[in-house]
Amino acid sequence: MNNGDHYPFSLKPLPYAYGALEPHIDAQTVMLHHDKHLQTYVENLNKALMDYPQYHNWSLLDLVRHYEELPAEIRTVVRNNAGGVYNHNLYFDTMQTPSGGKPVGRLAQAIKMSFGSYEAFQKKMKDASLEQFGSGWAWLVLSRTGKLEIMSTPNQDTPFAHGACPITLVDVWEHAYYLKYQNRRGEYIDNWFPLIHWEQAEVNYLKCIKGRMEREKR
Ligand code: MN3
């Protein structure tokens, strides 16, 4: 049985309607981003793995974290496309209808402790988004040393390569915002903050902490 988390991968449905993120992100952008861009990553990942049955039981996370163990001829294409699928699934899942919500639970405390305030977190996140040259992502992560950090990655790379665990993320590829914001990436980031699904981010955070504790026990 394929629970969807190994080859052949399929497009994870959007957890909301295309228009759910309006007016911050328009329905057409969400539709193209999910149904076309993400679909292409899914298809290219499956194509890359097709002739390598020994990896057909690897989960998406296995592929994202351990692509370096793959044969050289598919390493880069899996790095880009498994990363593309993983990053977009997390991105779409960690947004919701604009609520103006703020961080909750233990994550709220950790943000306050690490950055001083929610506003200081926003500034750092926006800076990282603007400083990422070309295509990539900005992330709130739990670092290797167990601290909250902001980072950016190019292309479809993930924080796992740096020993960090993702909590929330924003897509700064132009396809994520160009229709509505053209070259104004900063304005898009400002409009992304009210979309953050903080309850989901808290779930991601607690999962990161648990994973870290389990690794330390070993
Ligand atoms: Mn994208």
**If you classify domain 26-93 with CATH, what class do you get?**
mainly alpha
Check residue 4 and give its pLDDT: 63
Check residue 217 and give its pLDDT: 83
> HSE of 19 in the Cβ direction (CA atoms, 13 Å)?
0
How far apart (Å, rounded) are the C-alpha atoms in residues 83 and 44? 11
DSSP letter, residue 161: G
Beta-sheet strands, E only, within 12-88:
none
Query: Ligand 1 center to residue 52 CA distance, Å?
Result: 26
Query: Ligand 1 center to residue 95 CA distance, Å?
Result: 14
CATH 1.10.287.990: which residues of the chain? 26-93
State which residues have CB under 5 angstroms from ligand 1, the bound ion: 171, 173
State the 10-residue block means of pLDDT for the chain, 218 residues long: 77 97 98 98 98 97 96 98 98 94 96 97 98 96 96 97 96 97 97 97 97 84
CATH of the domain spanning 105-217: 3.55.40.20
Check residue 213 and give its pLDDT: 87
Query: Ligand 1 center to residue 218 CA distance, Å?
Result: 35
Check residue 17 and give its pLDDT: 98
> HSE of 182 in the Cβ direction (CA atoms, 13 Å)?
0
Query: Ligand 1 center to residue 10 CA distance, Å?
Result: 17
Query: Ligand 1 center to residue 6 CA distance, Å?
Result: 21
Contact between residue 7 and residue 49 where contact means Cβ atoms under 8 Å apart? yes
What's phi and psi for 103, nearest 5 deg? -55, 150
Answer positive or negative: Cα dihedral of 182, 186, 187, 193: positive
Contact between residue 151 and residue 189 where contact means Cβ atoms under 8 Å apart? no
pTM confidence score = 0.96
CATH 3.55.40.20: which residues of the chain? 105-217
